[in-house]
Structure 1
């Protein structure tokens, strides 16, 4: 369109202005030059993402049924079973589909040869059925294969916010006093500026929550990051920081990639205020999908949310980047909290940074990443927290704060997690030490176990591993097996106490069919959750047979999330051949080493002993 062409001309001109005089060799750049160069590359971040998404749509539209059967976005072998309902000439049809690895989810749009076919109302991976709400145009169309595709959202406000920051820096310099200080500090990886002579280092006898609250109340037009490893209480800490700021009369914003994450933090804020008998912590959420509660109001328009803050009717306002990017939101709050900042792209964080004088980033880049679609210049592909961490796994004491203790993981599990993912900076709280199992023939105490299962030719499902997992579950649920949550809390395990993880949806479906009352899903489903016992079915017979390659099955982030859900026991079930990959790159060696280290630390259990 003419509007896009005109914007692209503006971006090209701004990029040239921002990069003028900056060496092409990144090693020859100063920190300031690198930050300004990165700002230039972020100007086109959203266009690159959208372009890749559109090209993916064109590619999917050209695939035939056999291709879509092998495509994770595809849904093939469709057969009409029945018409469930018709409302206003729009039917809901139920189809059977072939057993396959599919990423189709409820509320996603389905496409057929480039045209929207309908949307997913429900999908049953066990029975292999899907209910599709059609359109009037497709009411009588019954293709044998469709695919999911997410049309890019309109991001004009975000791109314009980035452009305003870029224009200001081009005119004034990346280090100048004035506007967009927090966002520029983020690009520069600046140490947080603190008032009243406060320090980032914990004071004598000061716990992590108190340290974080003291620091955030002293922030001066700056950025402060908190990295929260599994079970370390990042949401708990963030909510109490917000309550402390409200006590000081500050206006607070919350943002994240989803309304669900924002609502979770708002609910924690409400709980923290109630716990501390603090009045006046009035919360409001800008959302079209969330409903109001007694404690959290809802604004259906941006202007309603901004007005509630301005008038004092609300002290805390939550919303996605579409709330915080418009120019009308400039410095609408004193501090903007960005939850799951390990997943939110640096470009989006920079766009929303204009809404606040100071930023607080909360998250953990060592857990699940946000998948990118486009190809970006070096550094522009990172999340905000990844950018701050640089080449490290944990946040430096100069730029932020690592929550150092987990309230979830038994020390034996924590030792593995800390060594592999947190540079040995994570420790277990004392109360986790007594979390053990007893009464099982070979799964007593706490820690890591590995059950080797020989099989061949399995890619995304494995019947033999399903049966081994079922046997483990059966043994753990026997009345003689007990779990100690703490020294005074000893009880039998229930179905809800066991979390079963698999890398592929096809294996999840098979496990769900075999174990119908259990909590079963892929890693993505369980981030933020916990259970006394985690069972991880690796599924694939060998590295060469892994769908999506080693990078997916051996992913460090996914291994971290899967194993760190367990409070007392982590049991990995898998083929021994997965521990003998033929690595061709340093990255593949790094991936393989993590899984091999798990086996080194784990107790080996013969399947015959279960």
Structure 2
């Protein structure tokens, strides 16, 4: 036999091969395995795929060199996880073992795609796949269902019910998301003497389906495959470095989830922005995007919300837009596709919130936007993650306390970012007090994550309908760094609001009385004129009520011409002055909030400004046209985007 490749003789790798080789089949348990360097405890970002690919490539090379079969199955809870391992194996073999056959993915390819070095065989190719396995050396990636389809296809020479002796090594990824039954299905292709490598992390999200703990002879039968093997005291090789998170991002997971064994291998890595990134940003965005603050948390006093929170959605969309304009990839500004696959992700526990955020993201950034639930981002990573916790209704929070306060959900969500995590969360959620002690402890963990970060500033932000929302900004920087934050308050916009007089109060009361009898909750000024026995429609005073935020005053087309219509509010909203500087500062947020689909209709955005003159003329349109000339927006017919 010839001399072994250097990568198989390397003593740093040799200990990894020995750990696996010296453990009997079914007893190897790696918690988020990492690269073969002697370090062994790497939960999120610890290079699990990297190590699995080395183990598979090394297994094939050594077994082949000794004249033994090397047939490997790679399976996992998701297709993308299988594809990620196969891509890495192809990369290792391309450099270190060019004679090795290409890895094969069997089944419908994963949505994330596959590397060019991975072959794809689909339904109907079972006979060809069986030949590849019979050759004695193959790396096959498949879900458990594709494996079942292969065994039941009738093309294999030896089948024993639902099992067949196909593989000498079975690698099961994402074992903490697989229920025990699924894990057992993954073992249906074991050949005599087969070895098993299982990787997972019981500190992250468990299987999606609900589970009930069931123990038989101290074995956990009602949970995940990982939980079962751990209860059976299978040999475990935890890894201790994270190659994903920088040091400030790794602090909390190390302290609460992986005490004493979660060290950043890239402690000083920072988000890369262009040199003038601060230009044009308000206070909250300057802090949120600052590369010197890997963790930024906004604690707000916004209105109660359940599965959709307009205030948080608008903030998340705002940060996405500003980040996309300023971030730099390896070769300069990223394309939209690169932005969403490498740079950024937006995460929220609820799909309704994700839909709201997606609708507010600028149309140019919406294609391929990664705006997903925590469950969908598990196993993935980005440079920056914007996390909206969404729920701000204490009663709703208590009703779903096990879900929203889940430590595993917090762990997954807070460990996806390489360099920047921006968390948006309601003070009402943090103040919710669950009735059960166990759930209360989980809620306390979330509070500790938030309030362990330093208080940097307090400000007031515009919420839905212009209502002001008090917001606290917290953050965590790099140890030893002296922060040079620009905490200059945002320039106040001068607003000269009229005084609420008894006459205006009387008009508002009359508008409300008329609106009660209308199914749309509106009142035409002609109806208000009759109700108050006035000589003329009260347009002048109604305009003042619009400016004060008590009504929305719009001009409509009717059967007998145009008419003015008022819609009253229970509480006043904020209406911005129709002045160039004020419109320039507020129009972006107004458009995001009023957007419907790809566009924002002009009259909907106009409604948030004091847009009409004393004669009823539109004084906002000329200002919008000025901003269009500046390139700030596009005014079309009939919509402004």
The two structures have a TM-score, normalised by structure 2, of 0.55
The one-character-per-residue Cα deviations of 1:46-80 (angstroms, maximum 9, x if unpaired) are xxxxxxxxxxxxxxxxxxxxxxxxxxxxxxxxxxx
Distance 2:428 2:14 in 1: 48
Matching residue of 2:90? 270
Structure 1 residue 498 and structure 2 residue 322: aligned? no
Cα pair 1:463 1:510 within 8 Å, conserved: yes
Q: CA deviation at 1:353?
A: 2.7
Structure 1 residue 449 and structure 2 residue 291: aligned? no
Q: CA deviation at 1:426?
A: 0.9
Matching residue of 2:141? 318
2:403 aligned residue (545, 548, 552): 552
- Cα distance change on mapping 1:492 and 1:433 into 2, 3 Å: farther
Q: CA deviation at 1:336?
A: 0.6
Structure 1 residue 341 and structure 2 residue 175: aligned? yes
- Cα distance change on mapping 1:206 and 1:405 into 2, 3 Å: farther
1:212-251 alignment to 2 at 5 Å?
A: 212-228=16-32, 229-249=43-63, 250-251=70-71
Q: CA deviation at 1:215?
A: 2.5
1:368-447 alignment to 2 at 5 Å?
A: 368-373=205-210, 377-378=214-215, 379-390=220-231, 399-429=235-265, 431-436=266-271, 440=278, 441-443=286-288, 444=290, 445-447=292-294
Question: Unpaired runs of 5+ in structure 1?
Answer: 1-204
Distance 1:414 1:525 in 2: 21
Q: CA deviation at 1:583?
A: 2.4
Matching residue of 1:355? 189
Cα pair 2:299 2:426 within 8 Å, conserved: yes
Distance 2:302 2:11 in 1: 53
Distance 1:442 1:375 in 2: 43
Distance 1:323 1:255 in 2: 10
Q: CA deviation at 1:416?
A: 0.9
1:279 aligned residue (99, 103, 117): 99
Aligned residues: 393
Matching residue of 1:147? none
- Cα distance change on mapping 1:493 and 1:419 into 2, 3 Å: farther
Distance 1:526 1:375 in 2: 25
The one-character-per-residue Cα deviations of 1:334-385 (angstroms, maximum 9, x if unpaired) are 1111111111122232343353322100222322322225656332221121
Distance 1:354 1:261 in 2: 20
- Cα distance change on mapping 1:506 and 1:323 into 2, 3 Å: closer
Distance 2:109 2:346 in 1: 30
- Cα distance change on mapping 1:434 and 1:351 into 2, 3 Å: closer
Distance 2:329 2:444 in 1: 32
Matching residue of 1:31? none
Structure 1 residue 466 and structure 2 residue 313: aligned? yes
Cα pair 1:468 1:607 within 8 Å, conserved: no
Cα pair 1:411 1:427 within 8 Å, conserved: yes
Distance 2:77 2:52 in 1: 17
Distance 1:547 1:499 in 2: 27
Q: CA deviation at 1:232?
A: 1.0
Cα pair 1:413 1:448 within 8 Å, conserved: yes
The one-character-per-residue Cα deviations of 1:395-415 (angstroms, maximum 9, x if unpaired) are x8x722122111110101101
Matching residue of 2:601? none
Cα pair 2:90 2:117 within 8 Å, conserved: no
Provide the secondary structure at the position in 2 that maps to 1:358.
Answer: strand
Q: Which has the larger Rg?
A: 2
Cα pair 2:270 2:294 within 8 Å, conserved: no
- The root-mean-square deviation of aligned C-alpha atoms, in Å, is 3.3
Distance 1:424 1:267 in 2: 32
Matching residue of 1:22? none
Cα pair 1:449 1:603 within 8 Å, conserved: no
The two structures have a TM-score, normalised by structure 1, of 0.58
Distance 2:119 2:329 in 1: 37
Cα pair 1:324 1:352 within 8 Å, conserved: yes
Distance 1:300 1:478 in 2: 44
- Cα distance change on mapping 1:214 and 1:493 into 2, 3 Å: farther
Structure 1 residue 579 and structure 2 residue 426: aligned? no
2:132 aligned residue (297, 308, 315): 308
Q: CA deviation at 1:271?
A: 1.2
Provide the secondary structure at the position in 2 that maps to 1:221.
Answer: coil
Q: CA deviation at 1:592?
A: 0.7
1:86-101 alignment to 2 at 5 Å?
A: none
Distance 1:403 1:239 in 2: 16
Cα pair 1:217 1:244 within 8 Å, conserved: no
Distance 1:461 1:603 in 2: 28
Q: CA deviation at 1:548?
A: 6.0
Provide the secondary structure at the position in 1 that maps to 2:390.
Answer: coil
Matching residue of 1:53? none
The one-character-per-residue Cα deviations of 1:76-122 (angstroms, maximum 9, x if unpaired) are xxxxxxxxxxxxxxxxxxxxxxxxxxxxxxxxxxxxxxxxxxxxxxx
- Cα distance change on mapping 1:288 and 1:572 into 2, 3 Å: closer
Q: CA deviation at 1:570?
A: 1.3
1:531 aligned residue (369, 376, 382): 382
Distance 2:422 2:411 in 1: 14
1:145-294 alignment to 2 at 5 Å?
A: 207=12, 211-228=15-32, 229-249=43-63, 250-287=70-107
The one-character-per-residue Cα deviations of 1:417-450 (angstroms, maximum 9, x if unpaired) are 2222223311100x34132567654243133221
Q: CA deviation at 1:473?
A: 4.0
Cα pair 2:393 2:428 within 8 Å, conserved: yes
Cα pair 1:217 1:245 within 8 Å, conserved: no
Q: CA deviation at 1:278?
A: 3.6
Q: Which has the higher contact order (CA 8 A, sep 6+)?
A: 1
Distance 1:504 1:470 in 2: 16
- Cα distance change on mapping 1:230 and 1:478 into 2, 3 Å: same
Provide the secondary structure at the position in 2 that maps to 1:248.
Answer: helix
